[in-house]
Amino acid sequence: MSRTKCRISTGLLCLFTTACVFGADNVYNVHDYGARPDGKTLCTKSIQKAIDECAGQGGGTVYFPPGRWLTGTVYLADNVTIELENGCTILGTTDKSQYGPPRQLLRAEGEQYSTWAIFAGKGLRSIAIRGRGTIDGQGSHFKYKNGARPKNLYFEDCQDVLIEGVRLRSAGSWMQHYRDCDRLTIRDIAVFNHVSYNNDGLNIDSCRDVTIIGCMIDSDDDAIVLKSLSTKPTENVAISDCVISSHCNAIKMGTESGGGFRNITVSNCTICSPRYSRKIYGRQRGLAGVALEIVDGGTLDRVAISNLTIKGVTVPIFMRLGHRARTYGPDQPRPDVGIFRNVVVSNIIATDCFTVGCSITGLPGHSIENVTLSNINLDFEGGGNREDAKREIPEKPDSYPESTMFGTLPAYGFFCRHARDLRLHNVRVHTSTPDLRHAIVLEDVEDALIDSLDATFSAGAGSMVRLTNIKGTFIRGCRPPAGTGTFLKLEGAASERVVLVANDFSHVRKMVEMASDVPKAALAEIANHVEQKSRKD
């Protein structure tokens, strides 16, 4: 077969740049190897032959010109770049016998993750898929819940991986799965995945040193997901400048968390509900903007999320430390409760959020630790009633973690339980219709700070803030609006060291309502501005 040498020219500049990145200058056109761009002829063998010859010569670029190229699984090789020209579409065959072999990743409950994919590889170095073409998995032909369904991309134990510029559409399950990879860059891709079950947009699993930047991802299931289907953590990940839509969770860590998540940043992203109205999972509006979950052991540590705009989701922020305790291989012991600590969420604007409310919940004896929410601006639909405000929320330690798992919460803003070192700084939570629930509820929280809270208070509501069995809470700089009935309701015989300092309670009818079981010494008031009619009961 013919082989074309890459020269510096205007027409092949992109190909030359790609080849030079990986130290090779050879370009292999799949058409020269017998592939036909008619969308009907199965081209798997021809494409694989081009890849293998490219690799045999030390690497280079396998080039797909405009056209429709039908294929089953093809395997990349070291130092090979797949270049998809604008106008090129790779079609995954609807014949599942052309994928595989389907090596499975075992899970304790009998569920399996297939490694079937259009482009696949394991143990590779210096690979890339780039260009302005499209990879279409034709996943609507695999619309069944059980059994293997192909992804568009699957790479395992690979180093120096680049996915750039391409459009990914309609996978049979997850769109792309990167497992145990190092130095992975995903840049300027567009994903649309709304045709079958488990249609995630992007899955990063036990990988290290990952950059995801400038992507547009619209999926039925979770959009950008960090997982750990092993004892290895997903760590050193930077996600930025993306536009994200999902019927489920836009940005998620979990549910699979065996190795945990460390050193993660998410910044400068826009999140909104999908325009595509037909859903398979979740809700039309989306379940959560940001969902952080440790439920199968592992440690979530050093996570920073900043500068997000969120519109139309059910719950903008969800954090959960639970104990589902799945394992990911035979003969593995069930993991202990994991660790969830050192999280900063800042500069978030969320509008048109549903009634449920945000939750940050650990388990008795297993607290979420050192979480800061700063400059948070959330608008909810409202509509909660007094019965909602009185609800006792069950622990549900082994339940599947989801932002709606507890139903309507007693707080329309934040319900926080089993936490330590919690800071809410400059948090604004408002409702568009009257809501008789609290804005903030803290239960079994140790060492909390509420600073400059700005919240809606509806006529007939119980109190703006409710604290139950709290050990050390500092509330300062709050200025409840005119018409506020009771600012704080303090409950629980274990409550202690609650301090109100430098708050403006001039428009509050009652500053504090203390339950009869609360020790009188549990509350201190310092330098608050209080009208004569505002009092403590």
Q: Is the pLDDT of residue 506 over 50?
A: yes
pLDDT at 16: 41
Band of pLDDT at residue 1, cut at 50, 70 and 90: very low
How does pLDDT run across 173-218, given as a tens digit for each residue? 999 999 999 999 999 999 999 999 999 999 999 999 999 999 999 9
Cα–Cα distance measured from residue 67 to residue 312, given in angstroms and rounded to the nearest whole number: 38
- What does DSSP say about strands 74-75 and 117-122: parallel, antiparallel, or unpaired? parallel
Lowest mean pLDDT among 11-15, 366-370, 471-475: 11-15
CB atoms within 10 A of CB 515: 12
Cα–Cα distance measured from residue 37 to residue 63, given in angstroms and rounded to the nearest whole number: 13
The pTM (predicted TM-score) of the whole model is 0.93
Q: Are 248 and 220 a contacting pair, CB within 8 Å? A: yes
Q: Are 525 and 537 a contacting pair, CB within 8 Å? A: no
How does pLDDT run across 366-418, given as a tens digit for each residue? 999 999 999 999 999 999 999 999 999 999 999 999 999 999 999 999 999 99
How does pLDDT run across 411-453, given as a tens digit for each residue? 999 999 999 999 999 999 999 999 999 999 999 999 999 999 9
Between residues 478 and 279, the one the model is more confident about: 478
Residue 462: left if φ>0, alpha if ψ -120 to 50, beta else—which one? alpha
Looking at residue 8, which CATH number applies to its domain? 2.160.20.10
Band of pLDDT at residue 115, cut at 50, 70 and 90: confident
Q: What is the mean pLDDT of residues 69-90?
A: 98
Q: Are 176 and 203 a contacting pair, CB within 8 Å? A: yes
pLDDT at 361: 99
Q: What is the mean pLDDT of residues 505-521?
A: 96
Cα–Cα distance measured from residue 222 to residue 236, given in angstroms and rounded to the nearest whole number: 21
Whole-number average pLDDT of the chain: 92
Cα–Cα distance measured from residue 304 to residue 231, given in angstroms and rounded to the nearest whole number: 22
Q: Which amino acid is at 96?
A: K
pLDDT at 533: 55
Cα–Cα distance measured from residue 156 to residue 530, given in angstroms and rounded to the nearest whole number: 63
pLDDT at 202: 99
Burial class for 17, CB neighbours closer than 10 Å (0-12, 13-18, 19+): middle
Q: What is the mean pLDDT of residues 48-67?
A: 98
How many separate domains does the chain show?
1
Structural domain for 463, as ranges? 4-536
Cα–Cα distance measured from residue 30 to residue 200, given in angstroms and rounded to the nearest whole number: 30
